[in-house]
Amino acid sequence: MNIPLPDIDEIDRRILDVLQQNARISNHELAQKVGLSASPCWRRMRRLEKMGVIRGYATVLDAARLGLPVTAIAMVTLDDHHPDTVATFDEAVNRLPEILDCMAISGEHDYLLRILAPGMDSYQRFLADHLLQVPGIRSVNTVFALKHNKQTTAIPL
């Protein structure tokens, strides 16, 4: 699938694709894989970083092996959409490390959160002691992932 991206050519796409597969690849090896010499490859990477296409580099960890096997998907509804209510919610989300993702969504609920926990009891404590204590939250409906059939950080290019 070739999604049109402004100011990004086929070589940039190949660079991005290879980096998504292995962000630890050396510039020399990356250049070889995309058919460039090292200097132009490095310049292209820096340009993609400055454009904000490459936002950063990360290590993907196995949450279950680190003692966080429970993935909760919490759908949050706020009392209202007043800027103060939204700002209070955003601040709370950003200070709670258990929350990995927060997305404003359309439909019945206002936000979708992805939360990790060591177990159901600890999730319940997190919900009662932290999330439901945030002013402006009307309700939280949670579903739990039973199995991860697919999990990727790669964006189709």
Residue ranges of domains in the chain, CATH in brackets: 10-51 (1.10.10.10), 64-144 (3.30.70.920)
CB 68 within 8 A of CB 61: no
CA 50 to chain centre: 20
DSSP label at 113? Answer: E
Best CA proximity match to 140, nearest among 111, 97, 98: 111
Q: What string of DSSP letters covers 20-44?
A: HH-TT--HHHHHHHHT--HHHHHHH
15 φ, ψ to 5°? -60, -50
- Is this structure's pTM higher than 0.95? no
What does the alpha-carbon distance between residue 133 and residue 119 come to, in Å, rounded to a whole number?
20
CB 11 within 8 A of CB 19: no
pLDDT in tens, 22-65: 999 999 999 999 999 999 999 999 999 999 999 999 999 999 99
pLDDT in tens, 63-115: 999 999 999 999 999 999 999 999 999 999 999 999 999 999 999 999 999 99
What does the alpha-carbon distance between residue 3 and residue 155 come to, in Å, rounded to a whole number?
10
92's tokens: 């709370």
User: What are the CA-CA distances from residue 28 to residues 4, 45, 62 (Å)?
Assistant: 27, 12, 29
136's tokens: 């402006």
